[in-house]
């Protein structure tokens, strides 16, 4: 579900921790997202502000983001007007899905200026707008809205700011039972989709005389309520709402759960949680208990932690999916080409296996040369190599002499024998190529944004793809890739390489000879290293779980994982990146447990 006004209300209460804080840094990791690094209440905080059309949100975050080499224009603008600024207030107009962040900054001349960062969380219309508070004009927005897109409101530098269209709904706070009943039983004053129609510059549809459900009555008349929360209120109502009661009686019954919810909200007694529905596998988040949904509930101490758990992986996976779509297509095409090449090589190999047959036919022709008639297309001779001395028919080229026909078979024999050596080499190379491409496809399946860029650079270095950037890449000498470091239940660090750049650095440079190295047996996957010469069974089992999870067999059970000391692992000369050979290994069989692995402490080093 999307953030409704109730969630935003609770979120704004949580964001009061930013008031009085200083904005130290502004980053823009993607075209939709802003990250503010704050110093507030004696601690450092990171605030994620996203205008992603699918996952718009605002919350504190612990996530690490990969920033582009060159900051986008909107990011540079925010740095100019907001860095070193003090957040004076964080407010929500009414119960709208809009947050106003007032920022006071002293410029290089010493003058104090006031700016307002407006965050509009409205699905595909979401936006982040920087406003000159005094003039009321837009400095810029992360997404521009031109007159061609919407005639109602324009989001362009220099234009006056117009708030999203009014939805003409009542605020939930301050309603009495009488006004609540009157509100729910009165006709709808304006079509439900009027606001969205105005945003898109089209006329709203007529509301018509369609009978509303009680969920729709709540959503259409009271600000901040989403269909999910409205459904929960109706579900909690006792006695249940029925057509046997009058509308006024049903509305009166709804008052009690409504008043309870509003009171809890005003007192800050919220219950941020995610409910994973068992029937359809969908996930829902809410700040109130969802008793009408049966499923597994995970509770969180703050709204930010709940939102990060719900949106974090989804948003990153979507961004990664967009970034890797071209690489996935390329690698899959390359793999398909090599599979076809393998089939043709196998056919050549099968033909070459008959090399001795050509030699025998040549020798039989040489022994029977006096029997060959000029211009004959075939000859039948005794096969002296056959125990039963059976006759064999040998095809001839009528245009060649008997001697040339015999030589033709000897040449076929020599060619087939020589091709066997070349085909063996090509078969080996093609198998290695397919294994390499499989490993890259597996790595892209679990890659973060930073991992994707390292994989892309590897493909450029290996000559698979061209560097499309106009500027030459400056690679720092001895640059160290960042690695995921998990901590086992015994407190021992376990490092995981998520791509070949990380695998090579981890195995060949970081790990010591007495460390333990793990990898799935004959399955593409990550290199995993236990950075300690001494550890218990629990650490070994957890490291094997990580090796199985970050492999092509992550959805399988009883995955074989080899482990051996680093001193027994080596990279052959000229091998592909990430490819190693090893010996003295033992094998464990584990079934990956994603939930247990998520609970393991992890840092990036």
Give 515-555 pLDDT, tens digit per residue: 999 999 999 999 999 999 999 999 999 999 999 999 999 88
Half-sphere exposure of 41 (CA within 13 A, CB side): 7
pLDDT digits (tens, 9 = 90+) for 168-193: 889 999 899 999 999 999 887 555 45
**Which long-range CB contacts under 8 A does 296-302 form with residues at least 24 apart?**
297/273, 298/273, 298/274, 299/271, 299/272, 299/273, 300/272, 300/273, 300/274, 301/272, 302/14, 302/60, 302/272
Question: Whole-angstrom Cα distance, residue 238 to residue 398?
Answer: 101
314, part of any domain? no
- The answer to whether residues 375 and 432 belong to one domain is yes
Q: Which of 275-289, 325-339, 383-397, 411-425 has the highest mean pLDDT?
A: 325-339
Residue 484 CB contacts under 8 Å (≥ 6 apart), including other chains? 495, 496, 498, 602, 603, 604
- The answer to whether residues 120 and 150 belong to one domain is yes
The pLDDT value recorded for residue 210 is 56
What does the pLDDT average to over 260-269? 91
8 A C-beta contact, residue 223 and residue 171:
yes
8 A C-beta contact, residue 442 and residue 332:
no
- The answer to whether residues 535 and 595 belong to one domain is yes
Overall residue count recorded for the chain in this entry: 605
- The answer to whether residues 264 and 368 belong to one domain is no
Q: What is the CA radius of gyration of the chain?
A: 35
128, part of any domain? yes
* Number of folded domains that form the chain: 4
Residue 53 CB contacts under 8 Å (≥ 6 apart), including other chains? 32, 123, 124, 126
521, part of any domain? yes
Residue 367 CB contacts under 8 Å (≥ 6 apart), including other chains? 381, 384
The last residue of one of the domains, among 255, 284, 299, is 299
Question: Whole-angstrom Cα distance, residue 559 to residue 592?
Answer: 8
390: domain CATH number is: 1.10.287
- The answer to whether residues 66 and 155 belong to one domain is yes
438, part of any domain? yes
306, part of any domain? no
Nearest-CA neighbor of 440 among 318, 329, 591?
329
465, part of any domain? no
The pLDDT value recorded for residue 54 is 87
- The answer to whether residues 338 and 289 belong to one domain is no
- The answer to whether residues 502 and 554 belong to one domain is yes
pLDDT digits (tens, 9 = 90+) for 19-35: 999 999 999 988 899 99
The pLDDT value recorded for residue 16 is 95
58, part of any domain? yes
Of 51 and 349, the structure prediction assigns the larger pLDDT to: 51
- The answer to whether residues 260 and 349 belong to one domain is no
- What is the band of 204 on the pLDDT scale with cuts at 50, 70, 90? low
- The answer to whether residues 183 and 155 belong to one domain is no
491, part of any domain? yes
Nearest-CA neighbor of 34 among 85, 86, 71?
71
**CB neighbours (10 Å) of residue 488?**
21
- The answer to whether residues 125 and 218 belong to one domain is no
- The answer to whether residues 427 and 372 belong to one domain is yes
230-244, 341-355, 495-509, 559-573: lowest mean pLDDT where? 341-355
- The answer to whether residues 99 and 218 belong to one domain is no
Exposure string over 113-134, b if 16+ CB within 10 A, otherwise e:
eebbbbbbbbeebbbbbbbbbe
The pLDDT value recorded for residue 206 is 47
Three-class DSSP labels, 433-452: HHHHHHHHHHHHHCCCHHHH
Give the domain range for residue 539. 484-604
Helices assigned H by DSSP within 267-398: 303-352, 355-367
The last residue of one of the domains, among 299, 314, 334, is 299
Three-class DSSP labels, 177-211: HHHHHHHHHCCCCCCCCHHHHHHCCCCCCCCCCCC
The last residue of one of the domains, among 446, 473, 497, is 446
Nearest-CA neighbor of 169 among 160, 180, 154, 159?
180
């Amino acid at each position: 579900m999307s953030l409704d006004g109730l969630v935003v209300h609770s979120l704004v209460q949580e964001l009061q921790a930013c008031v009085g804080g200083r904005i130290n840094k502004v980053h823009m990791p993607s075209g939709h997202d802003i990250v503010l690094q704050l110093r507030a209440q004696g601690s450092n905080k990171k605030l994620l502000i996203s205008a992603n059309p699918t996952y718009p949100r605002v919350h504190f975050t612990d996530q690490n983001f990969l920033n582009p080499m060159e900051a986008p224009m909107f990011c540079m603008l925010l740095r100019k007007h907001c860095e070193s600024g003090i957040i004076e207030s964080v407010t929500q107009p009414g119960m709208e899905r809009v947050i106003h962040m007032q920022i006071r900054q002293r410029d290089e001349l010493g003058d104090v200026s006031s700016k307002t960062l407006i965050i509009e969380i409205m699905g595909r219309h979401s936006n982040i707008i920087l406003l000159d508070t005094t003039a009321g004009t837009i400095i810029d927005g992360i997404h521009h809205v031109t007159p061609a897109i919407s005639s109602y409101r324009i989001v362009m530098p220099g234009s006056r700011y117009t708030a999203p269209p009014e939805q003409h709904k009542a605020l939930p706070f301050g309603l009495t039972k009488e006004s609540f009943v009157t509100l729910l039983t009165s006709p709808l004053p304006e079509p439900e989709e009027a606001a969205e129609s105005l945003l898109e510059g089209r006329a709203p549809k007529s509301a018509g005389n369609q009978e509303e459900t009680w969920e729709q009555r709540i959503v259409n008349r009271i600000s901040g309520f989403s269909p999910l929360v409205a459904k929960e209120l109706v579900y909690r109502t006792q006695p249940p709402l029925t057509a046997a009661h009058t509308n006024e009686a049903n509305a009166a019954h709804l008052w009690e759960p409504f008043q309870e919810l509003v009171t809890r909200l005003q007192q800050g007694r919220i219950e941020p949680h995610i409910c994973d529905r068992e029937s359809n596998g969908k996930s829902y988040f809410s700040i109130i208990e969802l008793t009408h949904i049966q499923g597994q509930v995970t509770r969180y101490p703050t709204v930010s932690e709940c939102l990060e758990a719900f949106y974090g992986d989804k948003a990153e996976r979507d961004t990664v999916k967009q970034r890797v779509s071209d690489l996935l297509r390329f690698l899959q095409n390359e793999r398909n080409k090599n599979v076809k090449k393998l089939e043709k090589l196998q056919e050549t190999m099968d033909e070459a296996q008959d090399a001795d047959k050509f030699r025998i036919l040549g020798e039989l022709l040489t022994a029977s040369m006096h029997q060959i008639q000029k211009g004959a297309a075939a000859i039948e001779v005794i096969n002296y190599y056959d125990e039963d001395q059976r006759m064999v028919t040998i095809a001839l080229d009528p245009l060649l002499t008997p001697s040339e026909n015999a030589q033709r078979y000897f040449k076929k024999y020599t060619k087939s024998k020589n091709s066997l050596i070349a085909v063996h080499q090509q078969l080996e190379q093609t198998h290695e190529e397919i294994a390499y491409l499989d490993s890259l496809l597996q790595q892209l399946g679990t890659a973060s944004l930073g991992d994707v860029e390292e994989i892309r650079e590897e493909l450029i270095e290996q000559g698979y793809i061209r560097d499309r950037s106009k500027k030459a890449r400056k690679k720092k000498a001895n640059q160290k890739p960042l690695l995921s470091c998990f901590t086992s239940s015994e407190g021992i660090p376990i490092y995981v390489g998520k791509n070949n750049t990380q695998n090579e650095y981890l195995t060949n440079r970081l790990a010591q000879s007495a460390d333990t190295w793990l990898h799935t047996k004959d399955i593409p996957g990550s290199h995993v290293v236990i950075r300690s010469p001494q550890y218990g069974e629990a650490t070994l089992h957890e490291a094997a779980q990580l090796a199985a999870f970050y492999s092509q067999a992550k959805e399988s059970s009883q995955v074989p994982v080899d482990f051996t000391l680093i001193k027994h692992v080596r990279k052959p000369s000229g091998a592909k990146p990430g490819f190693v050979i090893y010996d003295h290994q033992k094998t464990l069989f584990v079934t990956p447990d994603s939930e247990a692995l998520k609970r393991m402490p992890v840092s990036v080093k």
